[in-house]
Amino acid sequence: MYETKYHKASSADEAARLLAAAEDGKFLSGGQTLLPTMKQRLAAPTDLVDLSQIDAMKGITIDGKKITIGAVTTHAEVASSSELRDVCHSICDLAGMIGDPHVRNMGTIGGSIANNDPAADYPAAMMSLNAEIMTTKRTIAADDFFVDLFETALEDDEIITAISYTVPSKCGYAKFPHPASRYAMTGVFVSKNVDGTVRVGVTGAGASGVFRHEGMESALAGTWTADALKDCTVDANAMLSDIHADGAYRANLVKVLAGRAVASSC
């Protein structure tokens, strides 16, 4: 790791100021992607501005069906929140599948979303749950937030403060972990809303990162069963292809996991 200067921010405003003053600074949340990247010398920020101790960005708020999760809430906190589990267990299950206990105790929802790793779990949930990403500047709909691999709508000095969504009538998440990294080889989050609409968010598979699958959404809006998906097609050419799996395999996983997510939903 190259030398870097560490700053601990106590508010989002202070964090933005610290970043503005840095020559080539980066926000640090749980650090589960940024720090390994720095250790491999693939990133060399002059300054790190730590967001993880900003109290206003911590914690889970449940207001009826409205869920708000502070950006620096760790995966472990989401996974173990019994209050959240009571109203929306799928998001807790998803958080419990991320990495290992070390990662879950450090990594944060805001960090995961801001990084937009194409194999991260949370982006699928955000897309499916039609979440709002709240930042220091605005509120961004999930559909508009995730742009491309490792690319989001965030501006350089914009900080996610929280995410928020309304609990759907049914939702579920199914993940097939990558054999080495245990990221999602493919992960599918399905949600059925009170008005009958369905949203399907897919991570790990898409060549351009997280995406929604409209064909599966309309099929599931008709019948909320795994069987309803049998005539759906997933374009293998639009999938990632690498040494671990080709597009055809990932396309198959998208369909299989969507079915399993539906079957396990409640």
Binding site residues, another protein, CB under 8 A: 2-3, 40, 176, 179-181, 185, 243-246, 248-249, 252-253, 256
Token pair of 51 as six digits? 């967001």
Nearer to another protein, 3 or 63 (CB): 3
- Nearest-approach distance from CB 181 to another protein, in angstroms: 4
**Which residue reads 């599948």 in tokens?**
97
Find the shortest distance in angstroms from Cβ 180 to another protein.
Answer: 4
| 145 vs 176 by CB, closer to another protein | 176
Q: How far is the CB of 100 from another protein (least distance, A)?
A: 9
Q: Which is nearer to another protein, 126 or 261 (CB)?
A: 261
Q: Least distance (Å) from another protein to the CB of residue 95?
A: 18
Long-range Cβ contacts of 22-28 (<8 Å, 24+ apart):
22/46, 22/47, 22/49, 23/47, 25/49, 27/51, 27/114, 27/159, 28/52
Which C-beta is closer to another protein: that of 69 or that of 258? 258
DSSP structure string for 52-104: TT-GGG--EEEETTEEEEETT-BHHHHHH-HHHHHH-HHHHHHHHTSS-HHHH
